[in-house]
Amino acid sequence: MWTINDVMASAARKYGGRVAIVDGERRVSFSELEAEVGRTAAWMQAQGMRKGDKVAIQGRNSLAWATAFYAVLRTGAVAVPLNHKLAAAETTYILEHSESRFWLVEGSLYQQTVAIATPSNAPTAFALDPKGDKSVLPALAPHTEAGTGTSIDIGADDLAELLYTSGTTGRPKGCMHSHASALLAGIGSSMVFGLGQDDRVLIAMPIWHSFPLNNLLVSSLYFGACVVFMPEYHPRTFLQTIQAERCTLFFGAPIAYLMPLEKIPDFDEFDLSSVRAWLYGAGPIDAVSARVLMERYKSDRFYQLFGMTETGPTGTALLPDEQLAKAGSIGRCAVSGCDLKVMLDGGKIEAAPGENGEIWMRCQSMMKGYYRNPEATASAFRDGWYCTGDVAHIDEEGYLFIVDRLKDMVIIGGENVYSKEVEDVLAQHPAISEVAVIGMPDIAWGESLTAVIVPRAGETVDIDDVKTYCARYLARYKIPRLIRIIETMPRTPTGKVKKYMLRDATGTPGAG
């Protein structure tokens, strides 16, 4: 099996002068990218970077980020992509936990972090942005002769990435991925939507997340596709970039598709006809929204992809012709290179149609485990299967519908309540834009439900009306006892709600 370094060398030979990456006005060919990665890797070795070193990379989507990532791998070191939106304490935690020796970071992010929290055994830092303020940090790989570097023996099973989870339930964990698992994740999903040499892949979601990194950036290198970077997602820039660059493929959370419809009055004036595949993940899209998206985006080529950082990500897919008939489903079976089953009673028996159970996965792109956390690794696997913690319902045709996270199941007076079931009802209320349902300790009932609601623009949420609405569709014990109104929902960069933050804040005054 090849390494990512082998893929880079092969792509340079095969695709040569074709454009590999577009970053604003810059256009870099495959051969130019290979040369710059080699030069940067040689410079890194001259700074003392060695095989097995952990190297944190923190910044927005850019050619500089991609070059640094590939160069780190060329030295045999391990890339540790960091969320550029982390608070200083969060960044410090990952730098320390990952034991990073080097930190390639945008100057402004570096200043924000060290002004508040300096990591113990602070890694050697270099400015990721070549145009950054050199008075803050020394530049990464300044344009001087760096030599050819030392050839390193790197195998497909060697560690390539430490990908830290979003931390929706607590401290993030570092998923250890090899060159092979990173490549296989992208290959498996690309077979679903047919990534190829003629594609122009827009990456607007954060590149340090597993899907944009492995299934788009690395996979585009493997298949010879061109990557078009946006530093960060913005609804108008998103539309402008697709139109100007004639992008053919995009991946985003559902909100990335819905936001332009709400925020951009002249949405229909943009030409998006070049896009042949609209990919989404991090949550389902209901039938009503699916119809609206198909109508407004003038396309029926939507794909949902379900997976997780631990699996590469690899998982399942809901295909274009299933979007309406099976809206809300994650698909019927796993993609190539992955196997899936739904288990009952802690793994004793497989669930049948009509039942709810935990999704277990086994795939070629599976992580090696959680870095420096053998206990979490051991508890996550059962006989080679990864226990996802996602509870799914199987319909009569075998399609899977995520019901909830195991940890989000609330037990009220001995009755199991899945928060997603309540969220799905509340999401249909005309005054509600977003909702998250959480369980809170209750002396009498063990736990009780709290609904945290973001109203639609211009709407006022009436607490009694919401409870009356719930009573039409839910058993009495499933109706939230407390309802809190907030302005914005705390989310991870991939769009997942940070329920632990909602639980922490629920002790503050609210409505009920």
Model confidence pLDDT, tens digit, residues 465-507: 999 999 888 878 889 999 999 999 998 766 778 887 898 887 6
Longest dimension (CA), the chain: 72
How far CA 64 is from CA of 37, 71, 207, 404, in Å, comes to 10, 10, 12, 38
Q: Measure the CA dihedral 346/283/361/406, to 10°.
A: -10
Phi, psi of 32 (to 5 degrees): -65, -40
**pLDDT of the residue at 222:** 98
Structure tokens at 493: 């960069």
CATH of domain 4-16+27-180: 3.40.50.12780
Helix locations, 47-86, DSSP H = 63-74
Structure tokens at 322: 């299933």
Helix (H) or strand (E) holding 125, with range, is strand 124-127
Q: Does domain 413-505 have CATH number 3.40.710.10?
A: no
Contact 309, 496 (CB under 8 A): no
Closest of 168, 162, 156, 243 to residue 202, by C-alpha: 243
pLDDT tens by residue, the chain, 512 residues: 999 999 999 999 999 999 999 999 999 999 999 999 999 999 999 999 999 999 999 999 999 999 999 999 999 999 999 988 887 888 999 999 999 999 999 999 999 888 887 777 889 999 997 666 677 899 998 876 656 788 999 999 999 999 998 655 557 899 999 999 999 999 999 999 999 999 999 999 999 999 999 999 999 999 999 999 999 999 999 999 999 999 999 999 888 999 999 999 999 999 999 999 999 998 788 899 999 999 999 999 999 999 999 999 999 999 999 999 999 999 999 999 999 999 998 888 999 999 999 999 999 999 999 999 999 999 999 999 999 989 899 999 999 998 877 777 787 876 778 788 899 899 999 999 999 999 888 776 778 899 999 999 999 999 999 999 998 888 788 899 999 999 999 987 667 788 878 988 876 433 44
Q: Give the residue range(s) of CATH 3.30.300.30 domains in the chain.
A: 413-505
Amino acid at the residue 63: L
Percent of the chain topping pLDDT 70: 95
d(CA 60, CA 66): 10
C-alpha torsion sign, points 472, 477, 482, 485? negative
Q: Give the residue range(s) of CATH 3.40.50.12780 domains in the chain.
A: 4-16+27-180
